[in-house]
Amino acid sequence: MTVELLICMTCKRGAPADPDGPRPGSVLMALVAGQEPAGVTVRGVECLSNCDRGCSVALRGPGRWSYVYGDIDPELHLAALLDGATRYAATADGLIPWRERPQILRKGVIARIPPLEAS
């Protein structure tokens, strides 16, 4: 079943000094294009309400725990983010063992949200 990597398109933190320049989420979307891991759909979203720690992303999927991550540097963390999304998609419940998570997904976690189906 497909999981989603959601990328906040409104984050400004870490954005270039040029207010008309691309936002970090736009840069990340462009870098991810064509590199989407198998079983992962990438979507831009308006706001993940994590402005102080942008660029922000989320991973979610049916029956899985969802995660919100911040402090993502589009160029520096691209490979780790794609690796994490691949590992997330390979789980049945969204729980990647701690030692198997890329470093940015250990340090950058903002929230862990249980699946709707959780008791």
Q: pLDDT tens digits for 93-110?
A: 999 999 999 999 999 999
C-alpha–C-alpha distance, residues 10 and 3, integer Å = 22
Residue 2 is predicted with a pLDDT of 87
pLDDT at residue number 22: 84
pTM recorded for the entire structure: 0.91
Reported confidence tier of residue 117, pLDDT bands at 50, 70, 90: confident
Looking at residue 14, what is its pLDDT? 57
115: confidence class by pLDDT, cuts 50, 70, 90: very high
Name the residue with higher pLDDT: 19 or 106.
106
For 3-113, the fitting CATH number among 3.30.428.10, 3.10.20.90, 3.40.30.10, 3.30.70.2520 is 3.40.30.10
The answer to whether 61 and 1 have CB atoms below 8 angstroms apart is yes
Question: Would you say residue 1 has pLDDT above 80?
Answer: no
Q: What is the rounded CA–CA span in Å between residue 19 and residue 30?
A: 19
| Residue in 13, 28, 26 with CA at minimum distance from that of residue 110 | 13
Nearest to 2 by CA among 39, 47, 45: 39
Domain chopping of the chain, boundaries: 3-113
